[in-house]
Amino acid sequence: MLDNTPLPSASVKVSRREIEVLRLVSAGKTSQQIADLLFVSKRTVDFHLQNLYEKLNASNRVQALCRALQLGILSAENFM
């Protein structure tokens, strides 16, 4: 279950690459599609996603996206 407790965005440090992965997830891309677009392995994408889940207190892509929106890491314009 997603913890709806607001967190200050300053308390969550997300790398540029993790934001890139989040944006591609928001566009509905699979891990393999993201890997192909970023010229990395699927395992690397899954590693970034796992780090994001931990940082954002999420257990899946939807929760991670919701939390990123709550924290202002992504904006509604990021969703395609």
From first to last of its 80 residues, the chain has per-residue pLDDT tens of 445 555 444 578 999 999 999 999 999 999 999 999 999 999 999 999 999 999 999 999 999 999 999 999 998 876 65
Q: Do the beta carbons of residue 29 and residue 80 sit within 8 Å? A: no
List the chain domain ranges: 15-78
Q: Is 58 helix (H, G, I), strand (E, B) or coil?
A: coil
Q: Do the beta carbons of residue 39 and residue 45 sit within 8 Å? A: no
Domain 15-78 has CATH 3.40.50.2000: no
The pTM score is: 0.82
Q: Is 39 helix (H, G, I), strand (E, B) or coil?
A: coil
